[in-house]
Structure 1
Amino acid sequence: MFRRGLIGYLPANIAAGVVGLLTIVVFTRLLEPAQYGAYALAMSAMTLAHTLVFTWIEAAMARFQARSIERGDASNHMVTIYRAWAVLAFGFPIVAAVAVWLAPLPGALKLAVGAALTTVMARSLIKLVQERRRADGEVVAASLLDMALTVGAFLVGVAFIALGLGAAGPFLGMTAVAVLCLAITLRRELALMWGGRFQMDRLTEYAAYGLPVALSLILAIVISTTDRFLLAAFLDETAVGVYHAGYSLANRTLDVMFIWLGMAGGPAMVAALERGGRPALEASAREQSSFMVLLTLPAAVGVALVAHPLTQVMVGEGLAEGAARVTPWVAFGAFFAGVTTYYLHQAFTLGQKTRLLFVAMTIPAGLNLLLNLLLIPRFGIDGAMWATAISYAVGAAASWALGRQAMPLPLPIEALWKAGVACVAMALTVLAIPDLGGILELTLKAAAGAIVYAAVILGLDAGGLRSRGLGMVRSLRERTAE
């Protein structure tokens, strides 16, 4: 299931990666630095509100859909999920409107935050559709929906910015596209709910599982957004824009890989555990973690190595210089964050001990807040990027240690040291290439680094890639000979 998911979700993640980079390229040029800072703050507010109110329901859909299918009562499961969502959705707009009205924000920022909060309900409802499709193994349907949401929101958002809506434009684009996708997909979801009934005991189980997940994600948001609010408080919105540009460039480059792996890996591990028990889970987890390290560690090192030419090409002139300083630190933080979220945290959800997940997240969240308060007033943007990298590294260690009490997962030690050796060879190669600037330097260094890394990995047969490749070649030759 994992390999099928990797192939099936690849187009969606290529689209997400391209759109993520285009978002930085286009938004940092169409929006003024202060407007881009307002967009970053509004994005943080939207993510926090979504997670606080709706994420626990989405987590329950992802975790218990496969089990409900096995038991033959999926309609009851879905009715319970959607009715809980409807109750929360009834009160959310009222609370959000009052909060925006009372917030002591400048007019442009208030407009951006208001637009961001309007998209929360539509995004959450379509997220339930996505999680149900992934859990049911509907890879093609889930992938198409992901692509429609990602590409459509970007294009409509750019159009709204061009119409003069500023930082509010991207969020209005998200809302419009999510509503359109819901109009197309909800009929199928309603059909699957036919004949089901709401079950309070089931909702209680889902809340006990999902609420700690949501609380832990809120702490994750604290790590990823506190720095922006403190930069705005101690400096200004322009500083937020500079930091967010560098942060987004590194984080999105890594995140698109981790999301792809998570789309395929999360449902695969749940299915393995539900159908084959611990032995099947062990095999699935080992395969996933090795592939994750071999793919994402060189990406983090590579982004750090080419930070200057990358920001020159991708980020608007007013933000590029500062963003280049931020990108390497955030790249390493993004590696630890991705491994933690998309692999180490699976131990808590698989073992259904999500309260331990909340405990694990309090450690890096508290450390991040403390470091930002200490470092930003003295070092500004540099303090924020240092705090990010340190917090995520500590968070990974804490999640691994506590996760062993929930559902021990194997660590890919062999893949780690082989990827580390290959990354050293890659770094020595890239650093030997002169700083030419712009697209030429970026192309030369990226190509040389990728070739050297791939050669070393194949030479070491990391993850059995060389052996599998030779096996595929032999199989193809045998079929051709027949």
Structure 2
Amino acid sequence: MRAGARAESSPSLPSPTRRFLAASLGYSPSVVLPAIANFLFIVVFTRLLGPVELGKYFLIVSVVTFSAVVLGTWFQQALLRFDSGASSARSSERVTFYLFFLVLSVAATVFAGSAYLGLQAAVPGRVPAFPLIMVPLIAADVWYRTLLSSLQADGESVRYSIASLSLSVGRYAVAFGLFSLAGMRTYLALLYGWLLAESLVILWLAGSLGFRAAARHLAQVPRVVWKGYFEQLRRYAVYGVPMLGFMLASEARPLLDRALIAVLDSAFGVGVYASNYALGSSTVGLLAMPMLLSAHPILMAMANATPFDQGEFDRTNAVYMRLFLFVMLPLLLVVVPNTHFIARLALGRAYVEGHALIALALVGSALGNLALYVGKALEAHRRTGLLLGANMGSLAITAAFNVVAIRHWGYLAAGYGYCAGSLAYLALVYAAARSVALVHVPWGFAGVIAGIVATGAVVGAVGAPQLGLAAGGLGTLVGAALTLPVGISMLRRYPEARRHLNNVGQAARTLLGGLVPRG
């Protein structure tokens, strides 16, 4: 881990806002380009493999991903909390500790695989048969995710994006080669392509992070040092296990929505809901994820500083919230009034009737992402149990709302339930954060954005009977017209906003200047 890597995440450098924006741009390829690769994968392999083969592949991907999340997420979250902004003088010790955990994760994966084979032999025919390639895939995925977390902690946004893109493109390129040249015309081509590409990326990352020297050091350390490693693992687990529960609860939310729609409404409703929901929520992720990837290590580096400056942490986090809302405004203005047009353009005719779900998923996801910034105070103070409690509470509220509402209003009610749950989570995590620290959320700015977007949506809905799909465009124009005077007013009222906009421009010019070759 290089000393220079810390330049992006050190809180002592000037303008954390500029570093945040530059890092967000650096992380963007790791989100946008893999999404394009996944889209092309669907286009190509749905023509090469039948639904049964692809179904087997997606089932195994789900099992591998879930297993890797359970095995490694708690460690990766603790790594990001405790090692962001860490001194380069102890980088070799940290890499050795990472390798210690990864060796244990391989042992745990092999043990679980052996137990599965033993169970399959003891009760033949009663245990689902999975290919043995799952065992190395789970181990490799834990390694890959841990190495990416190490890059994120160091603020290595460019290498992070290169690794992510290499895996996303490489796994499908290798699979296509196995399918076309090696005659492996089953879903196994996709699994072997995944394993080979991920292994190559792991070898590159491990070599660049110094794992060869760490392996020699780990083989020579006395057993008493191992006791210290286990104690550090316990410290990581105290912080990370609630974060694992938090993430599993977040993943369970859309699954619970679909299950309730299937039971209380219909399978048709599940298909319409899932398609429109994915369109809205994934759109937010493309913009929000790069920002969150860059903000988290910067904020955690501040939390690791001695002494910890709570005021500076809160002010920096508030700036990041405003920038997030600033980015969300044009997205909301374009999408919310035009959901009917977007659904007709992107989805089949049978799915268009659920077009309002695109807007509901977009709004709910924006609220949820804002809540992630609010919760950074709890992460800084190591109160991850409160984060888990807030998420579980909002999940219960969402489920209760949906049980009642879906019976009366069908699958569309689940979209409102998602928004209600996201708003409840924002409120709960804000209350929890205020119990341990002073947290400033730009509620006024958020309210102004909500008012502008709501006005645009109302204009689009009222004008739809006369103007048809063009009414959505009118709603967007009205919202944009309202944005201009509101923006000017805010610049006058908050002079520091001008500085943030200048930082945006300077970061963009710096990035573009690095991309354009000089004559």
TM-score, normalised via structure 1 length: 0.78
Aligned mates of 1:290, 1:181 — CA distance in 2:
36
User: Where does 1:293-308 land on structure 2 (aligned, <5 Å)?
Assistant: 293-300=325-332, 302-308=334-340
Deviates more, 1:264-273 or 1:422-431: 422-431
CA-CA distance at 1:313 after TM superposition = 2.5
Aligned mates of 2:103, 2:64 — CA distance in 1:
19
Aligned mates of 1:6, 1:471 — CA distance in 2:
8
Tell me the alpha carbon deviations over residues 164-208 of structure 1, each in whole angstroms, 9 at most, x when there is no partner. Answer: 757x88776654432331122111230573646642221111111
User: Where does 1:70-149 land on structure 2 (aligned, <5 Å)?
Assistant: 72-92=89-109, 95=112, 119-149=137-167
Deviates more, 1:344-353 or 1:177-186: 177-186
CA-CA distance at 1:268 after TM superposition = 1.0
CA-CA distance at 1:251 after TM superposition = 0.9
CA-CA distance at 1:471 after TM superposition = 9.5
Aligned mates of 1:169, 1:385 — CA distance in 2:
37
Who is 1:13 aligned against?
28
Q: Is the 8 A contact 1:12 1:146 kept in 2?
A: no
User: Where does 1:295-444 land on structure 2 (aligned, <5 Å)?
Assistant: 295-300=327-332, 302-315=334-347, 317=348, 320-321=351-352, 324-341=355-372, 343-375=373-405, 380-424=410-454, 426-427=456-457, 434-436=467-469
CA-CA distance at 1:262 after TM superposition = 0.9
Q: Is the 8 A contact 1:33 1:242 kept in 2?
A: no
Q: Is the 8 A contact 1:40 1:241 kept in 2?
A: no
Tell me the alpha carbon deviations over residues 411-446 of structure 1, each in whole angstroms, 9 at most, x when there is no partner. Answer: 113422343344345446656584348xxx98x579
Aligned mates of 1:415, 1:405 — CA distance in 2:
23
CA separation of 1:326 and 1:347: change in aligned 2, threshold 3 A:
same
Q: Is the 8 A contact 1:34 1:238 kept in 2?
A: no
CA separation of 1:349 and 1:319: change in aligned 2, threshold 3 A:
farther
Tell me the alpha carbon deviations over residues 182-237 of structure 1, each in whole angstroms, 9 at most, x when there is no partner. Answer: 12211123057364664222111111111111112111122132223455567777
Aligned mates of 1:37, 1:232 — CA distance in 2:
20
Tell me the alpha carbon deviations over residues 323-357 of structure 1, each in whole angstroms, 9 at most, x when there is no partner. Answer: 5243222112111221123x022122110111222
CA-CA distance at 1:254 after TM superposition = 0.6
Q: Is the 8 A contact 1:44 1:225 kept in 2?
A: no
Matched letter for residue 187 of structure 1 = G
Matched letter for residue 89 of structure 1 = V
Tell me the secondary structure at the aligned position of residue 306 of structure 1. Answer: helix
User: Where does 1:43-58 land on structure 2 (aligned, <5 Å)?
Assistant: 47-58=65-76
Deviates more, 1:408-417 or 1:30-39: 30-39
Alignment of 1:188 onto 2:208? yes
Tell me the alpha carbon deviations over residues 130-149 of structure 1, each in whole angstroms, 9 at most, x when there is no partner. Answer: 11112122232223223333
CA separation of 1:26 and 1:86: change in aligned 2, threshold 3 A:
closer
Matched letter for residue 4 of structure 1 = R
Who is 1:271 aligned against?
301
CA-CA distance at 1:409 after TM superposition = 2.5
Alignment of 1:210 onto 2:240? yes
CA separation of 1:402 and 1:122: change in aligned 2, threshold 3 A:
same
Q: Is the 8 A contact 2:333 2:479 kept in 1?
A: no
CA separation of 1:180 and 1:452: change in aligned 2, threshold 3 A:
farther
Deviates more, 1:411-420 or 1:155-164: 155-164
Aligned mates of 1:174, 1:450 — CA distance in 2:
45
Deviates more, 1:1-10 or 1:267-276: 1-10
Tell me the secondary structure at the aligned position of residue 137 of structure 1. Answer: coil
Who is 1:289 aligned against?
321
Tell me the secondary structure at the aligned position of residue 440 of structure 2. Answer: coil
Aligned mates of 1:245, 1:288 — CA distance in 2:
31
Aligned mates of 2:76, 2:295 — CA distance in 1:
17
Deviates more, 1:132-141 or 1:188-197: 188-197
Who is 2:512 aligned against?
none
Alignment of 1:458 onto 2:476? no
Q: Is the 8 A contact 1:232 1:240 kept in 2?
A: yes
Who is 1:178 aligned against?
198
Tell me the secondary structure at the aligned position of residue 409 of structure 1. Answer: coil
Q: Is the 8 A contact 1:419 1:457 kept in 2?
A: no
CA-CA distance at 1:26 after TM superposition = 6.9
CA separation of 1:209 and 1:450: change in aligned 2, threshold 3 A:
same
Q: 1:4 aligns with which of 3, 19, 35?
A: 19
Q: Is the 8 A contact 1:332 1:389 kept in 2?
A: yes
Tell me the secondary structure at the aligned position of residue 468 of structure 2. Answer: coil
CA separation of 1:347 and 1:37: change in aligned 2, threshold 3 A:
farther
Aligned mates of 2:132, 2:361 — CA distance in 1:
28
Matched letter for residue 290 of structure 2 = W
CA separation of 1:446 and 1:77: change in aligned 2, threshold 3 A:
farther
Q: Is the 8 A contact 2:72 2:146 kept in 1?
A: no
Larger Rg: 2
- Ranges in structure 1 where 5+ consecutive residues have no aligned partner: 103-109, 477-482
Q: Is the 8 A contact 1:9 1:263 kept in 2?
A: yes
Matched letter for residue 177 of structure 1 = A
Matched letter for residue 122 of structure 1 = A
Identity %: 15
CA-CA distance at 1:249 after TM superposition = 1.1
Tell me the secondary structure at the aligned position of residue 438 of structure 2. Answer: coil
> What number of residue pairs does the alignment pair up?
461
CA-CA distance at 1:363 after TM superposition = 0.2
CA separation of 1:471 and 1:18: change in aligned 2, threshold 3 A:
closer
Who is 1:244 aligned against?
274
Q: Is the 8 A contact 1:63 1:270 kept in 2?
A: yes
Matched letter for residue 182 of structure 1 = I
Aligned mates of 2:409, 2:424 — CA distance in 1:
21
CA separation of 1:156 and 1:324: change in aligned 2, threshold 3 A:
farther
Q: Is the 8 A contact 1:302 1:449 kept in 2?
A: no
Matched letter for residue 25 of structure 2 = L
CA-CA distance at 1:394 after TM superposition = 0.9
Aligned CA RMSD, in angstroms, stands at 4.4
CA-CA distance at 1:7 after TM superposition = 1.9
